[in-house]
């Protein structure tokens, strides 16, 4: 009998093969289908990156045009779902709303359970295309504002900001958001991606897989961490207060939000790109003080804990970036979800191409041969 290996949290366990993203945590490397993330954030668009992840190659011009058209044709959710958004409690949290609405999208699909690769791809385009409207419409609903219909002449990034704010974004804002979408699109077998693959491995449906992934991402140890970074920055009144705040946290052995990563023992390469973006946006939007506090925190942490392999992760500078774009704090994690739908969907497609049901073992640590005690004697 072979003894199974136990690793708490599946630490170090290889549970799937992927061609989508490669991570070298020691060197701080992230690649999508072999292309360094910095190359893509500097030269590509979110739409092109989604095609790359789903097809494992960059598209030709005609292919990108066709893919973009398909995505834009799915910008508008069903009317029944729009009405449903208008009936949601205004006090609901956006991530809970998004999780619910992605699940409800299945109710408007005549073949919701079709899970061959072609059907899954079509459903993935549908969900990705509509997701920005789900978030934007819910946010406008809770603010008491009328819904803004999507504009199919706009890019994914432009269209979301247009629906959210009711006006076209500036080129700088749109490009900044597009870069954020690129940087968050995929990241190996992270918790939410693993969730999506586990669900689809039962030959369930794409809607269920992505609903589960949203639920996983919401956790503060995963995508919800970027909200914690902004809370931390808001707690620090000025630049002079950074040093005592951070040192106090370190002395009390409290976590500094946005630092440390399960995979990276060097600076997260996405954080490097976002830092440049956050600095420029902060200067352009009058938030230089916010960036200055972020930069000061990083310098202190580098001095105190970098030797332990603790560096800024993607959440640290994405918080500043989203704030400068003008997003409310509780929309930070939904932004992560909008992007990561691309990666989740790609992994669903990958899983379906060579599926095997996930069925790990659990190490039983309870008693054996215990007696049953009648209720009168307990």
Positions marked catalytic: 222, 261, 315
Distance from C-alpha of 65 to C-alpha of 48, rounded to nearest angstrom: 10
The structure tokens listed for 311 are 């560096």
* Side-by-side strand order, sheet with 21-24: 21-24, 29-32, 35-36
Distances (CA, A) of 227 to 224, 233, 325: 6, 10, 15
Distance from C-alpha of 258 to C-alpha of 275, rounded to nearest angstrom: 12
């Amino acid at each position: 009998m072979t003894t199974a290996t136990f690793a708490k949290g599946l630490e170090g366990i290889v549970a799937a093969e992927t061609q989508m993203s490669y991570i070298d945590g020691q060197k701080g490397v992230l690649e999508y289908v072999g292309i360094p993330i910095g190359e893509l954030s500097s030269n590509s668009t979110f739409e092109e990156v989604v095609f790359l992840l789903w097809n494992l190659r960059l598209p030709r011009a005609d292919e990108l045009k066709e893919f973009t058209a398909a995505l834009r044709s799915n910008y508008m959710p069903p009317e029944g779902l729009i009405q449903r958004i208008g009936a949601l409690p205004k006090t609901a949290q956006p991530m809970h709303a998004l999780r619910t609405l992605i699940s409800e999208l299945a109710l408007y699909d005549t073949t919701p359970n079709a899970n061959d690769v072609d059907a899954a791809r079509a459903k993935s385009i549908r969900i990705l295309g509509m997701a920005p409207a789900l978030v934007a419409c819910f946010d406008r609903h809770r603010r008491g504002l009328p819904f803004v219909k999507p504009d199919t002449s706009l890019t994914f990034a432009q269209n979301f900001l247009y629906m959210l704010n009711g006006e076209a974004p500036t080129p700088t804002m749109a490009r900044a958001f597009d870069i954020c979408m690129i940087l968050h699109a995929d990241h190996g077998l992270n918790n939410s991606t693993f969730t999506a693959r586990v669900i689809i491995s039962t030959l369930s449906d794409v809607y269920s897989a992505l609903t589960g992934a949203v639920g996983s991402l919401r956790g503060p140890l995963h995508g919800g961490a970027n909200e914690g970074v902004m809370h931390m920055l808001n707690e620090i009144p000025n630049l002079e207060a950074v040093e005592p705040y951070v040192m106090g946290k370190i002395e009390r052995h409290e976590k500094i939000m946005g630092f440390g990563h399960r995979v990276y023992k060097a600076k997260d390469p996405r954080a490097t790109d976002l830092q440049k973006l956050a600095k420029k946006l902060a200067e352009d939007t009058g938030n230089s003080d916010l960036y200055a506090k972020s930069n000061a925190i990083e310098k202190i942490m580098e001095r105190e804990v970098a030797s332990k392999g603790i560096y800024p992760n993607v959440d640290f500078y994405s918080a500043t970036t989203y704030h400068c774009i003008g997003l409310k704090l509780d929309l930070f994690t939904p932004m992560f979800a909008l992007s990561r739908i691309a990666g989740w969907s790609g992994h669903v497609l990958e899983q379906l191409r060579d599926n095997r049901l996930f069925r790990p073992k659990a190490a039983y640590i309870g008693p054996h041969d215990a007696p049953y005690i009648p209720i009168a004697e307990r």
